[in-house]
Amino acid sequence: MLYSVPFSEKTKAVQYLIDHIPDETMRNVKNWMDQNGKDWWVGHHHGFGMGIRNLLRQGGFDWGPIDMDDLWVGLVERAVRKKFQCYHLTPKYITQQSRILTI
């Protein structure tokens, strides 16, 4: 269940994404966020999103298909924010799914 994934695991997953997503890809995601705001992920759910979910599973973060589907966007957003230290992006860029990380 979504709320049963500990915050500490989500934090580790964010760092894992920072360490394993190529820099160019992270810059592309930041550009998607800049161009599309909170809906940046909509056109990337199946291709890019599946790749992220698979990457997380390879890293030992397999919380089941529903939670993985619900969490990947927020995890990627947090990774981009942390990598580029762009914490000022919060209201425009952070989706509802990203806020789940704080629960």
Q: What is the pTM of this model?
A: 0.81
Tens of pLDDT along 5-34? 899 999 999 999 999 999 999 999 999 888
Cβ atoms of residues 86 and 22 within 8 Å: no
Number of structural domains found in the chain:
1
Distances (CA, A) of 100 to 12, 53, 67: 15, 17, 11
Question: What's the confidence (pLDDT) of residue 92?
Answer: 43
Structural domain of residue 86, as residue ranges?
2-102
Tens of pLDDT along 31-71? 988 888 888 888 888 889 999 999 999 999 999 998 898 89
Question: What's the confidence (pLDDT) of residue 38?
Answer: 85
Question: What's the confidence (pLDDT) of residue 95?
Answer: 52
